[in-house]
Amino acid sequence: MDSPVAIFKKEEAVPSASNPVVGEKGRKRSFPAGLWTKCPSCQHVMFTKTLRENFSVCSKCNFHFILGAWDRIETLIDPKSFKETETGFETLDPLQFKAVRPYLEKLKQDQKKTGLKEACVVGSGEISGIPVAFGVTDSRFIMGSMGSVVGEKITRLVEYATEKKRPLVIVSGSGGGARMYEGVLSLMQMAKTSSAIARFQKTHLPFLSILTNPTMGGVMASFASLGDVIIAEPGALLGFAGPRVIEQTIRQKLPPDFQTSEFLLDHGMIDLVIDRKELKKMIKLLLEYFT
């Protein structure tokens, strides 16, 4: 029996548009860009199409890739049921903030990169036939940070859920917390969104908060941590300040799994850790139980 032939001998042999594989007769076989994706956790290489069909979860190590806002909506909301709202808001530059590049330039760059106007999409839809108010933040857009527009859209979503008596589901992916480009105006959004959640809780309808990698800073310290049930995806980075900042402050070495979903579950900070492929089923089960 012939021994199996390795498709790729070493990491740099992974085919790509810039790195074609040379055939037996010396002819280069080029591959379209984006055909393959390498898992950043285990280095496993897979077809991008196959990865997407698996909910953007590595089939070898279960690493959960970051999903954009509309991909997230596609995985959780019933087809053709989502109606986006609060689309007319535009971010301004109240502080005329300039760092490596001006704030407005950074906004335009991320708008072009993601196809979004801002780091948040909100609206109404159905999850397994159950009407919900649904929002999602996108970590690809200035790290999903919460500026004035994101805070306003989340607040209006919560107010819509309160008025229409609909369960509330928010998926958070915000590694940036409050947006430093807007100073205290971004910090105000923490109080505004939390106040809206407090008013919503008087309806006795469920608020399911879904935490994805990463959810940090002012978002984690406000609406993301106020869910009646808090669910996280496996291996997500969750917390307020980053591990390096905490170590420098308390001058102690932190556990290796500190601020992961599993660590927070073990310490009672969240309620469930659910694989992405099972998330919609769990949301349906919880909504049916609470409503």
Domain locations along the chain: 1-65, 67-290
For residue 11, what pLDDT is reported? Answer: 40
Architecture of domain 67-290: Alpha-Beta Complex (3.90)
Q: Report the phi/psi class of residue 215: left, alpha or beta, with left for phi > 0 and alpha for psi in -120 to 50.
A: beta
Determine the Cα–Cα distance for residues 134 and 33; give it in Å rounded to an integer.
34
Average pLDDT over residues 215-231: 97
For residue 33, what pLDDT is reported? Answer: 72
In total, the chain counts a number of residues equal to 291
Q: What is the mean pLDDT of the chain?
A: 90
For residue 2, what pLDDT is reported? Answer: 43
Return the structure tokens found at 86. 């609060």
Q: Residue 31: pLDDT band by 50, 70, 90 thresholds?
A: low
pTM of the complete model: 0.87
Evaluate if residue 275 carries a pLDDT over 50. Answer: yes
Average pLDDT over residues 250-261: 91
E strand spans, the chain: 21-22, 28-29, 36-38, 45-47, 83-85, 120-127, 130-137, 168-174, 207-215, 229-232, 272-273
Among positive and negative, which fits the CA dihedral 147, 243, 226, 229?
positive
Determine the Cα–Cα distance for residues 137 and 173; give it in Å rounded to an integer.
5
In the block, tokens 């008013």 appear at 199
Average pLDDT over residues 162-172: 98
Evaluate if residue 6 carries a pLDDT over 90. Answer: no
> Contact, 215 vs 224, CB < 8 A?
yes
pLDDT (tens digit per residue) in 183-210: 999 999 999 999 999 999 999 999 999 9
Average pLDDT over residues 114-125: 97
Return the structure tokens found at 268. 């009672």
